[in-house]
Amino acid sequence: MRGGSVAVVGGSIAGCAAALAVSRGGAERVTVLERADDRLRDRGVGIALHSDRYDELREAGYVAPEMPWAPLTRRVWSVRDGEAGHGRVVGEQPFPFRAYSWGSLWSELRRRVPDGVSYRSGAVVTAVEPDADGATLRLADGYEEHFDLVIGADGYRSVVRDAMFPGADATYAGYIGWRGTSPDVADLPSDGNDAHNIVFPGGHCMIYRIPDGVGGHRLNWVLYTAPPQTDGLHPDLRTPTSLPPGRLNSELTAHLRALVADAFPPYWAARVLRTPAETTFIQPIYDLEVPHYTSGRLVLVGDAASVARPHIGGGSVKALQDATALEAAWVAGESWKEVLEGYDERRGTVGAAMVALARRMGDAQVENTPDWTAMDQAGFDAWWQAQNSGSDRRSGFGGHSMKAG
């Protein structure tokens, strides 16, 4: 099917990939509406792509070798052991991933969006009004326009999803991710090619090196734990939100810093505690599933469709794979109906499988952690295998294999 006017609500990684997908598929006119200004490229947090998923996405034309990345080969899980600098290793596992900076990956995808696509920054969509022939978008500045197809790539607080499935909001998982990046990358173990998980009762912290986009590297970390149940310590996290730098409650920050000082091996505690405050923020963890990825002429991609907890290591992979599936459905379909049904069939079950696996991992790694101090490699292997039991051969740690079906 060729032609049609398409609006992509959201211009981050998922939105740029979706715009690229429908342009390749043959959409006549594509408009991307991104509520933020052009500072999206400044988002410096790390993401990682499993090497096998990278190969599939490279073959599909959504990632490329020239995108700045850092290799990761092994993941080392360590617990505090007295004053031993690096703690005691409780388990090691292969970790064939490629580490990226969110901002630089977005910049590369943004650069690949065809020149004919209209990309509007600072465009806040306030209403989506579907009809039999598409949908009308209304913006905060009073602008409105009708499109043949509207793609929601606007994250877990999606206005497009709300128009499709009112009340289908993300659900707070009961814990948070405290994230940070710093230039403190000198003298990392194993030349920086390992990902390190520092474990403690009630959570863990993942630490690894990412490219900074200008030829160097930064240290990226995210600490998962439940915040203390104290009135006024944090806002109501049950409502989807995020807490950027400068908005963190000082008492919550003090609690997290004390946890690091007490529970981390000294070497890793110092790395986290030296992180500049202006590069740290809070990311509440949510779950989200939708009954379908399409409804009428509305489509969802990325976190607008489903949110799997980050432990699965496949969030950005899923957004890019959603785009490849949308392109394939567009090329194969001969009508709007065939395109949308084909896309929903390809991606609906994938999203549900990833959310289920990520919930199991969150339970084992944060909500009901084992006695880390008693764990050795054999115990670690059994613990890890239990989290992955029930996963089908297609969706596992690192995301879904497009080649496996």
Domain identity same for 154 and 272: no
Tokens linked to 254:
């003090």
Residue 57 belongs to a domain = no
Of the candidates 83, 384, 354, 390, the residue with the CA atom closest to the CA atom of residue 204: 384
Which of 286, 301, 331 is the last residue in one of the domains? 286
pTM of the full structure: 0.92
Alpha-carbon span 371 to 186, nearest angstrom: 32
Of 222, 251, 286, the last residue of a domain is 286
Read off the amino acid at residue 49: L
- Tell which residue, 119, 132, 121, 94, has the closest CA to residue 7: 119
Given 286, 306, 326, which residue is the final one in a domain? Answer: 286
The pLDDT value given to residue 10: 96
Does residue 62 sit within a domain? no
CA distance 152 to 298: 7
DSSP code for 226: P
Measured between alpha carbons, how far is 308 from 359 in angstroms, rounded to an integer?
Answer: 8
CATH number of domain containing 114: 3.50.50.60
pLDDT in tens, 334-371: 999 999 999 999 998 888 888 999 999 999 999 999 99
Number of domains the chain is built from:
2
Q: Are residues 23 and 150 in the same domain?
A: yes
The amino acid at residue 10 is G
Q: Do residues 348 and 230 both lie within one domain?
A: no
CA–CA–CA angle 396, 154, 340 (5° rounding): 70
Question: If DSSP codes are grouped into helix, strand and coil, which group holds residue 259?
Answer: helix
Look at residues 180, 194, 197, 174 and name the one whose alpha carbon lies nearest to residue 362.
174
Given a contact cutoff of 8 angstroms between Cβ atoms, the answer to whether 25 and 331 are in contact is yes
151 phi and psi, to 5 degrees?
-105, 125
Strand, coil or helix: what is 70? Answer: strand
280 token code pair: 């740290």
* Domain range for 240: 70-95+173-286
| pLDDT single digits (tens) 29-57 | 999 999 987 665 555 689 999 999 999 99
Query: Is 309 a domain residue?
Result: yes
Give the whole-angstrom CA distance, residue 119 versus residue 315: 23
pLDDT tens sequence across 282-305: 888 999 999 999 999 999 999 999
Q: Is residue 61 part of a domain?
A: no
C-alpha 226/C-alpha 48 separation (Å) is 24
CA–CA dist 341, 339 (Å, integer) = 6
